[in-house]
Amino acid sequence: MPIPLSLQGVLWSAGIKKINIERDKEYVIHQVLTYGTLEQIKWLFKIYGKDKVRRVFLQNPQPIYDPAIFYLVKNIILGLKKNRLIPTRYVKTVF
């Protein structure tokens, strides 16, 4: 399934046509969770399923989230409120 052109702004570091849904799933999942709209997050769950999105989020952390976005994604969007995660593995450092 091709990636919608509307995601180019979220997946800015690669051309949409060069992204492989399966090979680049970690990049796609984290970018959409971090920068995507509600509609784009719904698309993410439709493509990968909520369980796979959770698994990628938990097993392959990326330090690209602002603190508020990290807690929104973790606690509300993914329903991982009871999981104790190390924020520094997800939250980007501000210099």
- What pLDDT score does 65 carry? 97
For 59-70, the pLDDT digits (tens) are 999 999 999 999
User: 90 with 61: CB under 8 angstroms?
Assistant: yes
| Terminal alpha carbon distance of the chain | 39
User: 36 with 46: CB under 8 angstroms?
Assistant: no
Phi, psi (degrees; rounded to nearest 5) at 65: -90, 140
Q: Which two tokens stand for residue 62?
A: 């990326």
pTM of the model: 0.92
Q: For 1-95, list the strands marked E by DSSP.
A: none
Reported confidence tier of residue 54, pLDDT bands at 50, 70, 90 = very high
